[in-house]
């Protein structure tokens, strides 16, 4: 149960028997080895660009991936530690369903976005980033926009909507983030983060871990999205930056004897040096360092979500995630909810077709767009 509570920053549920593997192009037969090689973003998005926005400290550069040229914009916001590439397979599916444009962006300090102050991950700052990127893309007359956010990105989507940073907002879709569950998870989140591998020998190794650990249950999505979660260790082994980036966030339990403590420290240092020589990839985002912002992302989220004056869709991996405020709001018809079983926390990666179907139906029902000609819903 404790492990299931760690869902609101990062997917961590163990794989279920019979879990969906949509999009995997491999037929697993006896003795067949699964392919964990990375896939390019260009297989799923039409374009990639960097968007410059002015800030007090200078220019920030946000990486975005896009598809489509007409219809409402689907602005996709990823979860903590993930990147815009987590939406890759979903983008190819939703784009085949409805008339729309897709813009998936790397949030600050994530993916390939480069900002002057990457340590500021407050909800207020990240919500303002969204507004600035939209303004940079479309000027003072942006097209109709539907914001879809997963986990942390869902929380930022709500804060963005409430602050009216996107004046042309059509609707809001939040994927698998609920205030009650998220707040319960925060106390033990650090322990979960420490349980993850600190480094990987290759990108393929990272992809394999993400699938076998259940973080991403769709092999195809893992192959394109994990490249946005990890980075290559380019520094030399003598550089202090490498051992810090690999070793920080690991907290050992206190030992009773000073001798044992010194021995542990020496062993850890030797292990880090050895791993630095052998390991080539580590996490892009040290989620343990973002702890001071977690409360601000999630506290009060349910009431904020309910006050957003646009049509709202909540997609969950399990009905147990609903807290009291959302249960009452759902009974009052303040938002539409759909539960997608047999998914982990990364619902849009595990079951991109189901998420696309739910979102497409929602948008067509509200007359935001139409199904593409020839698509049979």
Distance between CA 318 and CA 339 in Å, rounded? 6
Which of 67, 86, 151, 213 is catalytic? The answer is: 151
Between CA 243 and CA 255, with CA 249 as vertex, the angle to 5 degrees is 100
176 classed as catalytic: yes
Distance, CA of 192 to CA of 7 (rounded, Å): 10
Rounded CA-CA distance 189/195 in Å is 10
Within 10 angstroms of residue 250's Cβ, the number of other Cβ atoms is 12
Catalytic residue among 6, 150, 345, 348: 345
> Which of 177, 148, 172 has its CA nearest to residue 78?
148
Q: Is 36 exposed, middle or buried (0-12, 13-18, 19+ CB in 10 A)?
A: buried
Return the closest-CA partner of residue 19 out of 277, 342, 249, 240.
342
Bridge partners of 60, per DSSP, are 53
Instruction: Write the DSSP symbol of residue 103.
Output: E
Residue 52, H or E segment: strand 47-55
Q: Which residue has the tokens 């520094």?
A: 235
Catalytic residue among 176, 210, 221, 279: 176
Is residue 190 a contact partner of residue 14, using CB atoms and an 8 Å limit?
Answer: no
The phi, psi pair for 92, rounded to 5°, reads -65, -30
Ranges of beta strands (E only) in 140-181 are: 145-150, 169-175
Residue 125: φ, ψ to 5°: -65, -45
345 is catalytic: yes
Distance CA 115, CA 305 (A): 28
Backbone angles phi, psi at 217, to 5 degrees: -95, -5
184 is catalytic: no
Q: Is there a contact between 235 and 219 (Cβ–Cβ < 8 Å)?
A: no
Residues annotated as catalytic are 151, 176, 345
């Amino acid at each position: 149960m404790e492990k299931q509570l760690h869902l609101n920053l990062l997917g961590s549920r163990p794989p279920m028997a019979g879990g969906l593997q949509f999009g995997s192009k491999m037929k697993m037969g006896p003795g067949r080895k699964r392919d964990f090689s990375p896939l390019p973003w260009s297989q799923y998005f039409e374009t990639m660009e960097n968007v410059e926005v002015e800030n007090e400290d200078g220019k920030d550069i946000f990486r975005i991936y896009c598809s489509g040229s007409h219809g409402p914009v689907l602005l996709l916001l990823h979860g903590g530690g993930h990147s815009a590439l987590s939406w890759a397979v979903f983008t190819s599916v939703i784009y085949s369903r409805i008339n729309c444009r897709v813009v998936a962006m790397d949030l600050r300090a994530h993916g390939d976005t480069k900002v002057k102050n990457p340590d500021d991950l407050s909800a207020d700052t990240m919500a303002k980033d969204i507004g600035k990127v939209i303004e940079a893309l479309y000027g003072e007359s942006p097209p109709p926009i539907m914001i879809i956010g997963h986990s942390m990105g869902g929380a930022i989507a709500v804060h963005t909507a409430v602050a009216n940073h996107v004046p042309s907002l059509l609707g809001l879709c939040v994927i698998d983030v609920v205030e009650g569950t998220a707040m319960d998870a925060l106390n033990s989140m650090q322990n979960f983060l420490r349980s993850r591998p600190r480094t990987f020998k290759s990108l393929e190794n990272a992809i394999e871990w993400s699938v076998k650990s259940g973080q991403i249950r769709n092999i195809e999505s893992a192959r394109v999205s994990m490249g946005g979660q990890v980075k290559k260790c380019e520094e030399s082994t003598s550089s202090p930056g490498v051992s810090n980036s690999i070793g920080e966030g690991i907290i050992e339990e206190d030992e009773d004897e000073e001798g044992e403590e010194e021995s542990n420290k020496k062993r850890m240092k030797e292990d880090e040096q050895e791993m630095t020589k052998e390991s080539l990839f580590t996490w892009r985002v040290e989620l343990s360092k973002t702890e001071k912002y977690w409360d601000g992302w999630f506290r009060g989220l349910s009431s904020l979500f309910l006050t957003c004056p646009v049509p709202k869709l909540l997609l969950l991996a399990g009905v147990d995630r609903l807290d009291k405020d959302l249960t009452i709001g759902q009974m009052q018809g303040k938002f539409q909810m759909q539960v997608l079983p047999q998914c982990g926390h990364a619902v849009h990666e595990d079951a991109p077709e189901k998420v696309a179907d739910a979102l497409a139906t929602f948008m067509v029902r509200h007359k935001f767009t139409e199904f593409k000609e020839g698509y049979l819903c």
